[in-house]
A = this chain, B = another copy of it.
Amino acid sequence: MRAYHIAILGASGAVGKEICQILEERDLPIASLKLLASKRSAGEKILFRDEVIVIEEVNAHSFQGMDLVFGAVDEKTAKRFLPYAISAGALVIDNSSAYRLKPQVPLVIPQINREDIKKHQGLIANPNCTTIIALMAAAPLHRLAKIKSMVVSTYQAVSGAGHAGMEELKKQMQAELRGEALPIQVFPYPIAYNLIPQIGDFDESGYSSEEWKLQREGRKILHEPNLCVTCTCVRLPIMRAHSEAITLFFEDAISVEAAKAALKESEGVILLDEKEQAVYPMPLFASGKDDIYVGRVRASMHDQTHSLTLWCCGDQLRKGAALNAVQIAEAAIELGAL
């Protein structure tokens, strides 16, 4: 079996570190692993399968000889460096939003639109965390009865803002208990004991960039150009798993039983739905797990036959980011696209 020369750009960040860990756990055959980051993180050491790897500062020549490059940096850094990786002949799997909506770039959740991988021209985009978690729950139902529109409210963890976001919540909680002023750097307002109903910037429509992602990425991944997603994205004092309350409006009739059966059979989805035993997904228990947990599946009050409401949770750093990226690579290998 062929082994691959792999690089991670942004290896010192929350998603980059998670990609390292997931590569350690899984069977993707690795010939070499190169860890890249900005000057600030260069020299930092990472232990990977009993081997110490030193993070190198990225430059235009860093990607020579690489087969596979994971991008785990912001949009601006992705646009600056990932074209070098493509030029060097690597397959790039990018976690940023830089290329997600480009027509020639596949945007992939392997359990949903795996075949799109074949169309890549050197880069495959990893969807936004909120999109992945929502669609892992919604796609099995879309296949049953075609979703026309969705109303989504999110309950998003601070890990979406990286290590810095997690550190800020911890520090604010400590300050709160000591009765001290809360340090505010990452989020626009205190997040300890608070919610912030803004993730990203608002445009003229009144929606935030995070809310637009689920609308636009959802259409692309499901190949449904008319799908409508009305989303409210909210940041919460939760560490690293996102939750979402989703109401789905279907073209065809769908029963709760059929929906549960479809979710139960879905790869990467765990149905946790036993109301008598108070069994339902919660972020504390979804943290660190690979699957998306779905529960509280019920008919909507306003339409008992063509609308369902459900609740789902998933680890934002794993399936919401790093794991999905690695699964794209695995699928690319299986499809002969790498």
Contact residues in B for A83 (Cβ distance below 8 Å): none
A interface residues, how many (CB within 8 angstroms):
57
Q: Is A161 an interface residue (CB 8 A)?
A: no
Of all chain B residues, the one with the shortest Cβ separation from A307 is B230
Contact residues in B for A245 (Cβ distance below 8 Å): 153, 197, 232, 234
- Interface of chain A, main secondary structure: mixed
Of all chain B residues, the one with the shortest Cβ separation from A176 is B173
Q: Is there contact, CB below 8 Å, between B238 and A282?
A: no
Segment of A54-62, A92-100, A104-112, A200-208 in the binding face: A200-208
Contact residues in B for A198 (Cβ distance below 8 Å): 278, 280
Of all chain B residues, the one with the shortest Cβ separation from A228 is B302
Q: Tell me whether A194 and B282 are in contact in the complex, defined as CB-CB below 8 angstroms, given that A153-B153, A174-B177 are known contacts.
A: yes
Residues 212-235 (chain A) with a chain B CB within 8 angstroms:
215, 228-232, 234
| A326–B149 alpha-carbon span in the complex (Å) | 42
| A198–B148 alpha-carbon span in the complex (Å) | 28
Interface 0/1 of A277-294, CB less than 8 Å to B: 010111110000000000
A80 to chain B, nearest CB (A): 28
Which residue among A173, A174, A301, A311 has the maximum number of chain B CB atoms within 10 Å of its CB? Answer: A301
Contact residues in B for A283 (Cβ distance below 8 Å): 193-195
Contact residues in B for A301 (Cβ distance below 8 Å): 149, 207, 215, 228-231
Q: Is there contact, CB below 8 Å, between A230 and B193?
A: no
Q: Is A46 an interface residue (CB 8 A)?
A: no
A255 to chain B, nearest CB (A): 12
- Selected from B206, B215, B243, B256, the residue in CB contact (under 8 A) with A195 is B243
Q: Is there contact, CB below 8 Å, between B230 and A302?
A: yes
| A140–B20 alpha-carbon span in the complex (Å) | 53
- Selected from B148, B307, B311, the residue in CB contact (under 8 A) with A197 is B311
Interface 0/1 of A169-183, CB less than 8 Å to B: 000011011000000
Q: Is A337 an interface residue (CB 8 A)?
A: no
Q: Is A261 an interface residue (CB 8 A)?
A: no
Contact residues in B for A307 (Cβ distance below 8 Å): 230
Q: Is A237 an interface residue (CB 8 A)?
A: yes
Q: Is A321 an interface residue (CB 8 A)?
A: no
A317 to chain B, nearest CB (A): 15
A236 to chain B, nearest CB (A): 7
Q: Is A300 an interface residue (CB 8 A)?
A: yes
| A32–B160 alpha-carbon span in the complex (Å) | 54
* Chain A contact residues, CB within 8 Å of chain B: 148-149, 151, 153, 155, 173-174, 176-177, 188-190, 193-198, 202, 205-207, 215, 228-232, 234, 236-239, 243, 245, 247, 249, 256, 275-276, 278, 280-284, 295-302, 307, 309, 311
